[in-house]
Each structure stands twice: as C-alpha cells, then as structure tokens.
Amino acid sequence: MPIMNITIINGPNLQLLGLREPGIYGSTTLEEIYQRLQGVADSLDVKVRFFQSNHEGEIVDRIGDCLGDGTDGIVINPAAYTHSSIAIHDALKAVSLPAVEVHISNISSRESFRNVSMTAPACLGIIAGLGTNGYEWALRAIIKHLKQNRK
C-alpha cells in the first residue's frame, strides 16, 4: 500500500504551547508534539507535514494547497478560529478531504464562547480535552479512516 500523506495544521497561539497557560494546555511544546507525531507516523509508514499559522487566511490557503500536494487527510487544531471561522469550515468542505479536529482542552467545559465549533461540522470527528495525546489519537483515527475507505 502506498504511503499516506497527512497534513497537520495548527492555528493561532499554538506556537506558544509550553508557555501559554500551562494549567490548561500543559507544558509540552508544539515542537515536542511534532516530534512525537513524526515518530508515530514513521512507525506507521505515513508521511506527515506540519503547518502552524496565527493568520486565518494562511490556514485557509494551506487547506486549499492540500488538494495539489498529495495530502490524503488532515488533522487540524484551528485553536481560536474553531469558534469563529466560517472560512476554515468552508475550506475544509471545499477540499473534500477527511479531517479530524483536535483540541488539547475540553472546549465544551470552558467559556461559553468556546462551546461551539464552527469547523467541526466539516470534519469526520473531534478529539478534545485529552491533552496533547489527542494529536496522536487524531492521527491514528484519520489513518484508520483512510485505510478503511481505500479501494
């Protein structure tokens, strides 16, 4: 079976993981998450690409670029854009690639404005509140979905 290509997209302020509100987000850095995911991907013979931006338009552009770069599936943490970005929702719908949304914190148990995800309806599912381990589970979920739906 050919190698799968998964694009992992992170939204605003996630470059500050490890420093930003460690009581909510923990002490793991984004680079440490990437290193762990690379190890998981290598063990599963999957290629991962990482992208982080604080700018909504760059995230939308990166999702659109997935159509031409061989991406088979997307893992996305839209961060604050989760609750406001119809543009990211529309980009995910437009590319028609399977995506799993991931959040380090449980967005449903936080401030009321964080309780609704504008982007989740464009995804297969959402993993939230399980810390940085959620990234690995999202990666494994998208790979399993792709394997089950390959012809």
Distance of CA 73 to CAs 18, 19, 143, Å? 27, 29, 8
Active site residue 25: yes
- Strand locations in the chain (E): 4-10, 46-52, 73-77, 99-103, 125-128
3-state secondary structure of 110: coil
Q: Which is it for strands 125-128 and 73-77: parallel, antiparallel or unpaired?
A: unpaired
- Whole-angstrom Cα distance, residue 11 to residue 104? 12
Which one of the listed residues 34, 103, 135, 145 is annotated catalytic?
103
**Packing angle of the helix pair 30-43, 133-149 (nearest 10 deg):** 30
Burial environment of residue 143 by CB neighbours within 10 A (0 to 12, 13 to 18, 19 or more):
buried
Q: Which residues participate in catalysis according to the annotation?
A: 25, 103
